[in-house]
Amino acid sequence: MDVDELLQHHGVDTGRLEPAPRCPSWKEMRDHLSLMAGCAICGDTCLSAWVVGTTVDPRWVGLCRGHTPGVLSELAAPTVLGDRTGAVHG
């Protein structure tokens, strides 16, 4: 399941998420991850930061370990799942 499908599955209103740059650098993603308040789905501590497109503009999405799509373990570099780039705490 990719990030868009995950958000849709849980009924997350992407319009309430913080606006993001269209193509953030790895440093911007890593730095923003440390500022995120909690998982967009459950509120737990974020493990990963993602930028997703919406009908209006790109938005930041923080996800916890349980909601981070795919199998990610201790990555310290950008990762690509589908067409999304995400930064993961390492």
36: left (phi over 0), alpha (psi -120 to 50) or beta: beta
pTM of the full structure: 0.73
pLDDT computed for residue 65 by the predictor: 84
pLDDT computed for residue 12 by the predictor: 92
Collect the ranges in the chain with pLDDT lower than 70: 1, 55, 69-90
Are 61 and 36 spatial neighbours (Cβ–Cβ below 8 Å)? Answer: no
